[in-house]
Amino acid sequence: MSSYLAMFIETIFGFFALFMITKILGKTQISQITPFDFISALLLGELVGNALFDKNAGVPEIAFVVTLYGILMYISEIVTQKFKRTRALLEGYPSIVVYNGKLVRDVMKKNKLDINQLQHLLRNKDVFSLQEVEFAILEANGTLSVMKKSDYQPPTRKDMKLSAQEVNLPVTLVNDGEIIYDNLIEKNLNEGWLFQKLEEQGYSSVEDVFYVEYNKGQDLLIIPYVDRNHQKWDV
């Protein structure tokens, strides 16, 4: 029984230790992590996992491992920010694989990228033919950035000589039946205004709606609950 209690304590500590490390190192989306970041995350998790099942390792040992590895990762981040020349070594660098509509085979070979993989990455960008591509850059994180040829680019308002329009960022006012007061304040709105808008669309209470989105100059987007017992939404 004592062994389970020790594992419980070590697991809880390891969880919060990893959580704190990720907070200290900053926010990085999964799609933005470099190969080095990915390997570091796997290795850190492996170190904590091994320590949990090591009879000779306890909370102090886990704390030491997590702290030491977190310091090393933090130092590597600082180094890449302070010394630009180290970025290529630690983070990698982008490579042009399509230049002026032509494949750069040497670069593709160097990055272990074959034509099938390139086509797959292009399809993820809604490009289904190489003849549409003017430039394609393989980023350090393995994603592909594509610039289409002018004939295949969608026209912009500037191309069509239309006047510019104001761009507004939609915000969530209600999520899962609860009002997001910070967003109301940010948009200089109040509960009274929200309740009035809900009543205009046939809702007597904020608890009757699952989601409400506000966009300046437009009607509220309201998604109601259909069946709160079965958790089905009218999407």
CATH of the domain at 185: 3.30.240.20
For residues 121 and 139, give the distance between their C-alpha atoms in angstroms, rounded to a whole number.
11
DSSP conformation class of 139 = -
Range of the domain at 189: 171-233
Phi, psi torsion values for 103, nearest 5 degrees: -70, 135
Tell whether the model's pLDDT for residue 148 goes beyond 90.
yes
Number of structural domains (the chain) is 3
The reply to whether 12 and 65 lie within a common domain is yes
**Is 123 within the bounds of a domain?**
yes
The reply to whether 187 and 148 lie within a common domain is no
pTM here is 0.58
pLDDT in tens, 177-186: 899 999 999 8
The reply to whether 134 and 200 lie within a common domain is no
Tell whether the model's pLDDT for residue 171 goes beyond 60.
yes
**Is 166 within the bounds of a domain?**
no
**Per-residue model confidence (pLDDT) at position 132:** 94
Phi, psi torsion values for 50, nearest 5 degrees: -65, -35
**Contact status, residue 130 vs residue 122, Cβ threshold 8 Å:** yes
The reply to whether 18 and 80 lie within a common domain is yes
Q: Encoding tokens for residue 88?
A: 């290529």
**Per-residue model confidence (pLDDT) at position 235:** 42
